Chains A and B, each alone.
Chain A
Amino acid sequence: MKKAKLAVWKFTSCDGCQLSLLDCEDELLQLAEVVDIAYFKEASSREVAGPYDLSLVEGSITTADEKQRIREVRRQSRALVTIGACATAGGIQALRNFADVEEFMAVVYAQPETIATLETSTPISAHVAVDFELQGCPINKRQLLEVISALLHQRPPQVPAHSVCIECKLRGNVCVWVARGTPCMGPVTHAGCGALCPSYDRGCYGCYGPKENPNTESLCDWWQGELEADRVTVIENLRNFNAGAPAFERESRRQLGGAGQEQSDDPE
């Protein structure tokens, strides 16, 4: 059987999600046996020309150049899977979507005129068709291997879109929200981490982004009304790595009474 060609692409991101692939260690050798790692700059300077059977895309779109480049990646890829909060929701850099990017540049850079950037950070799915989105900041390497295995063998990936709460209950954790009054994003957050934070007695802070059918508004109402969380805490939790995910963005704007809507470039 001909080996499938795998490519790993980077857009605006910290490289942490690609690193999860290198972090696989034991499974990496097996992966190299079953696929041809044709383009993976973080791991090798070898470059094999496209088309590719599977492209893993990390990072968000923040420059005009990236907008062009993602179209080319899509054109060259049979299946395109986005990995991580940047690629699936715009990442931490989507905080710019709520502010004036010119102002940011003036504060950070000595010569802002040398910077060419877009006003927003948007997920890959806002620009091209995506076959599967693997959420998480960073992604879980086991889930990444599961997605690759699933695509190689043409079966659905076992990546449930349900809440972190289900992972807590499967582990037998006592709910930190109910038993301690700790604000926790678990009920609106996508599973995948194995309920890491609640297992260490702290609240989930939503690094896997929204779950399927999230009710962010009801969660925030209870945080404020019953758990005595102030608005700053609520907004900090919504405006994190997944600030640009529609369910989190909508609620953080509601919390601010719709402020900043004029700058919105909602990818929805």
Chain B
Amino acid sequence: MAKFVLQAEDLDLLIQAIRADGYQVLGPVIRDQAIAYGAVEKADDLPRGWTDEQEKGHYRLRRRNDDAYFGYAASPQSWKQYLQLPRRQVWQARKSDLGIQVREVVDEAPAVAFLGVRSCELHAIAIQDRVFVDAHYRNDSYVNRRAEIFTVAVNCTSAAATCFCTSMHTGPSVTLPSDLAMTEVITDGEHYFLVGSDSYRGRQILKQLPVRPATAENLQMADKAIQAAVQQMEDGPRHFDSSDLKELLYRNLDSPAWDEVAERCLSCANCTMACPTCFCSTVEDSTDLEGAEAERWERWDSCFTGEFSHLSGGAVRPDTRSRYRQWMTHKLASWYDQFGSSGCVGCGRCITWCPVGIDLTEQVSRIRELEEP
């Protein structure tokens, strides 16, 4: 793909061009002492000069020593919130003399642009696509929303301590298609974006911007910036070999590591809510007092709740040990059998947003350690 240089002070022109094309732009904004996703109307809405400090059960907003727009790592919640809605009404029914009329509730899919999608997040969206679009049980609400998304991907040039995409082979360099892909470069008094496009509509936007073709040096600087993130993760404590995870977990369904983690796990479900690929939902059916109206709502669910596995007679997974084991073995092992890939993209959200700092990568090491004779 041809690469161009967009000066940092012209970033707003990119946002305005996408808006003028009819998209609502969603991207990183500072909210509730975090860099979360929300409505972006102008470049000034972005968290310029801010970053995040992430560790087990710990997140703090911090000042950077430069003016980077995208100098932060994974947000508290992923793009999932806009594609697989946390709650949505599925149908409404009314009982009358004519019988029961059921009306499907078709929610409007707005034209939305995601600004600042990371490589791990593109992988996460691709994983959810396999669940909701390609698989046997399509979710029309997801399909309609997904079809309208314009993606502006951003290569990661710094990683949080909780990031491990290099171990899961999902980043930090953007490899999956997006409408526009950018790398932010800050060097020697220069601040620019290297921009390329994978799509027709992306190129139409690019055409409207005051860009110039990238030089070999620009390309080199961008590559160096991405390599810095790679290095950070490879030197970090969460780097591990993921090639045998499926076999490892299948061999260790009775590992004492599950008992250990169950002592700490709160079964609060934060990990599954924050995870960009966890796709489970439930439906809630209710009636009004009179019994004349009924509704069905879909909402996010979690394998950490008792109700999730409730069948006649009780929960199939009544204790925390069985719930944690279900989540982790599905995510890292049986996902391969079901969808042909890992369910983990290494974004580290489950580590950061676990209130008691349970670390998936530590659990993998622990299982390995306890297996050794």
Contact = CB atoms under 8 A, between A and B. Distances in A.
Interface of A: 27, 30-31, 33-34, 145-146, 148-150, 152-153, 155, 158, 160-163, 165-166, 169-175, 177-181, 184, 186-188, 201, 212-215, 218-219, 221-222, 226
Interface string B58-78: 111100000000000000110
Nearest to B286: A158
B305 interface: yes
Contacts of B288: 30, 149
Interface stretch (B30-38, B198-206, B214-222): B30-38
Contact of B291 (A152, A158, A173, A181): A152
A244 B324 CA distance: 29
A213 B267 contact: yes
Interface in B66-123: 76-77, 81, 86-87
Contacts of A163: 266-269
Contacts of A186: 268
Nearest to A158: B284
B340 to A, nearest CB: 28
A179 B263 contact: no
B2 interface: no
B302 to A, nearest CB: 7
Interface in B336-357: 352-353, 355-357
A226 B268 CA distance: 18
A54 to B, nearest CB: 12
A165 B305 contact: no
Given A162-B306, A169-B274, 20 more contacts: A34-B291, A146-B286, A149-B288, A152-B291, A158-B284, A160-B307, A166-B273, A166-B300, A169-B86, A169-B273, A170-B299, A171-B86, A174-B32, A175-B270, A175-B353, A187-B268, A188-B268, A213-B319, A213-B320, A215-B265
B86 A218 contact: no
Contacts of A212: 305-307
B355 A161 contact: no
Contacts of A177: 57, 355
Given A153-B291, A158-B285, A218-B264, A172 B86 contact: yes
B266 A219 contact: yes
Interface residues of B, number: 47
B32 A179 contact: yes
Interface in B26-67: 31-34, 36, 57-61
13 contacts: A34-B289, A162-B302, A162-B307, A163-B269, A166-B268, A169-B77, A169-B270, A171-B86, A174-B31, A177-B355, A178-B57, A179-B76, A222-B355
A169 B357 contact: no
A42 B126 CA distance: 57
A179 B268 contact: no
A34 B290 contact: yes
Nearest to A165: B268
A178 B290 contact: no
Nearest to A1: B291
A169 B58 contact: no
Nearest to A184: B355
A215 B321 CA distance: 12
Contacts of B365: none
A217 B269 CA distance: 17
A228 to B, nearest CB: 13
B266 A149 contact: no
Contacts of A175: 59, 76, 270, 353, 355
Contacts of A178: 57-59, 352-353, 355
Contacts of A226: 57, 357
Nearest to B262: A215
A187 B354 CA distance: 10
Contacts of B273: 165-166, 169-170
Interface in B294-316: 299-300, 302, 305-307
Contacts of A145: 289
A27 B352 CA distance: 43
Given A165-B268, A178-B57, A179-B32, A219 B355 contact: yes
B139 interface: no
Contact of A153 (B57, B58, B287): B287
A213 to B, nearest CB: 5
B285 A155 contact: yes
A75 to B, nearest CB: 27
Scoring B60, B268, B273, B299 by chain A CB atoms within 10 A of each residue's CB, the highest score goes to B268
A223 to B, nearest CB: 10
Contacts of A188: 266, 268
Contacts of B357: 222, 226
A31 B59 contact: no
A153 B294 CA distance: 11
A219 B57 CA distance: 12
Contacts of B61: 179
Nearest to A166: B269
Given A160-B305, A162-B305, A213-B320, A152 B270 contact: no
A218 B86 CA distance: 28
3 tightest A-B contacts by CB? Answer: A169-B273, A187-B268, A174-B32
A174 B31 CA distance: 8
Contact of B307 (A148, A153, A161, A179): A161
B290 A30 contact: yes
A197 B298 CA distance: 25
A179 B269 contact: no
A193 to B, nearest CB: 15
A19 B287 CA distance: 23
Contact of B355 (A33, A174, A187): A187
Given A162-B307, A179-B33, A187-B355, A170 B87 contact: yes
A155 B289 contact: no
Nearest to A35: B289
B272 to A, nearest CB: 9
